[in-house]
Amino acid sequence: MSDLSGGTPSSRVRPALIAALTGISFFLTLSFIFSPEASSDKPGPGVAPSSAPVASQELPENIRASRYDFRLSESDTFYHIMSVLNVPGPEIKEIIDLSRPVYDLKQLRKDSVLRAFTKDERLERIEYRFSDYETLIAERDDSGSFRAFKSELPHEIKETLVTGTIENSLFSDGLKAGADAQAMMELSDIFAWDIDFASDIRKGDTFKIVSQVLYVEGAPVRTGRVLGAEMTNGGRKYSAVYFEGRDGGSYYDADGRSLRRTLLKSPLRFRRITSYFSNGRFHPILRQYRPHHGIDYGAPSGTPVESAGSGRVVFAGWKNGYGNFIEIKHNNDYSTGYGHLSRIAKGIRKGAKVDQGDVIGNVGSTGLSTGPHLHYEVKLASRLINPLSIKAVPDRAVSKSESQRFAAVREDIERKLSGEMSVAVNPAPSNTPQGVARR
């Protein structure tokens, strides 16, 4: 039986032996991390050189350099990473100052990669790709000082056409047709005042999208602005044209009326809910109208709920059978209510101003509820009305002075949507996009 009292010589030697082995292991680990043969696959600034030292593009071919690839975490800073490579503080500041006209190195992005080249333990060059086609390069010149410049990959923006028919879901069928996630999200945002994408999509509905797509080195990378779109939903056709007027850019119907309305068609936006469901469902959100009460949307707990319109919060808190409840008074005789919320968003309280599309809470099952769902109601002059019956008017229209220019833009988009004008078809961008431009 082991003696746990600590009184024997062997038991006193054992801790010392363990401490010695731990120290040796730690030393060997550090030696591996900072050796030129270490792997660069691990994340964070402790990673150092790539598996095989490579020659820097600007260094003499007969001089080999070690390359370090740092995959950045949210807490990493340029100063910290350079300190790992023993770069002096004044030199770090010099690089930051010289690089600022190209890119601010104080704004490094999480999960991006900073590449550094060293020779004889001295920093020679850094590379940081800050967009799909732009890279910041800072390197030493012959005098030993640094210079910074931007390198660009060949790129262009093309107009593309994607057409499709709904067989399973808007999202999956859009991707199958050659669109990317960004294009389908933009489509749902554009028609959010006319179509409830959470519950109204039907098999056989069709869509067409003309959009800008960024190509880098000949390959599609991501979708930018949607220039025009058509959506046929339940036999009814909706159209959209992007037009830059004196007051900025927006989407209009064929008659020049803005697609924006006082209230969204649904407080559960397609963009917000897609991550909660599989792509193979027509109606991930179950909608039921209850006369004289409002609409109940069956949805998973936690689904984000948006304010259907801009206005001020007149109530936010517990309201009997409604549980967590929010009421918003809009800039007209309309008010909207949202019940059974699992939580009320931070800052949403009586008197708070909200904009259309702001997330105000999350779907839950508080109050008198048999399961997670959102109770949504609309009042007109303090009287409950059917939210599905609202015929909200556009918030603006193309001015008469710009109507002729709008007509030319609309005709151009209509020809592209119909296939009469040649545009690239179904580019199938390779990356999940974040948009070249936003509305």
pLDDT along the chain (439 residues), means of 10: 42 51 50 38 40 40 76 93 94 96 95 94 95 95 93 94 91 89 90 86 94 92 93 94 91 94 86 48 54 79 93 96 95 91 97 96 92 91 85 83 95 90 53 33
Give the model's pLDDT for residue 289: 60
Q: Is 201 helix (H, G, I), strand (E, B) or coil?
A: coil
Asked if 149 contacts 137 with a C-beta cutoff of 8 angstroms, the reply is yes
Residue 2 CA to residue 18 CA, distance in Å, equals: 17
Task: Please report, in angstroms and rounded to a whole number, the separation of the first and last CA atoms in the chain.
Answer: 75
CB 278 within 8 A of CB 270: no
Q: Could you give the CA distance from residue 301 to residue 365 in angstroms, rounded to a whole number?
A: 7
The pLDDT value recorded for residue 138 is 96
* Axis-axis angle for helices 181-190, 170-177 (nearest 10): 130
CATH number of 273-392: 2.70.70.10
Which amino acid would we find at residue 307? S
pLDDT of the residue at 293 = 75
C-alpha 198/C-alpha 283 separation (Å) is: 7
The pLDDT value given to residue 211: 94
Burial category of 312 from C-beta neighbours within 10 Å (exposed 0-12, middle 13-18, buried 19 and up): middle
State how far Cα 416 lies from the chain centre. 28
173-179: long-range contacts, CB 8 A cutoff, minimum separation 24 = 174/207, 177/426, 178/425, 178/426, 178/427, 178/428, 179/209, 179/223, 179/426
Cβ neighbours around 92 below 10 Å, total: 20
Was domain 66-152 assigned CATH 3.10.450.350? yes
Its CATH architecture, for the domain 154-261+394-439, is Roll (3.10)
pLDDT at 271: 66
Residue ranges, CATH 3.10.450.350, the chain: 66-152, 154-261+394-439
Residue 308 has a CB neighbour count (10 Å cut-off) of 31
Report which residue type is found at 2: S
What is the per-residue pLDDT for 45? 42
Alpha carbons within 13 A on the beta-carbon side of 314: 12
Task: Record the pTM.
Answer: 0.69
State the burial class of residue 376 (Cβ atoms within 10 Å of its Cβ: 0-12, 13-18, 19+): buried
Strand 236-245: give its sheet, edge to edge: 248-252, 236-245, 219-233, 206-216, 155-165, 424-425
Do 307 and 331 contact (CB within 8 A), yes or no? no
E strand segments, 11-145: 66-71, 113-119, 122-129, 134-140
Taking the C-alpha atoms of residue 286 and residue 393, their distance in angstroms, rounded to an integer, is: 27
Q: Go through the chain and tell me how many residues it has.
A: 439
Delimiting residues of CATH 2.70.70.10 domain(s) in the chain = 273-392
Answer yes or no: are the C-beta atoms of 200 and 289 closer than 8 Å.
no
How far is residue 325's CA from residue 394's CA, in Å, rounded to a whole number?
28
Distances (CA, A) of 55 to 38, 41, 116, 284: 16, 19, 12, 54
For residue 188, give the H/E element and its range: helix 181-190
Question: In this structure, what token pair is assigned to residue 260?
Answer: 């924006």
CA dihedral 212, 184, 169, 280 (to 10 degrees): 110
Q: Which long-range contacts (CB under 8 A, 24 or more apart) does 397-401 make?
A: 397/252, 397/255, 397/256, 397/257, 397/258, 398/243, 398/245, 398/252, 398/256, 398/257, 399/245, 399/246
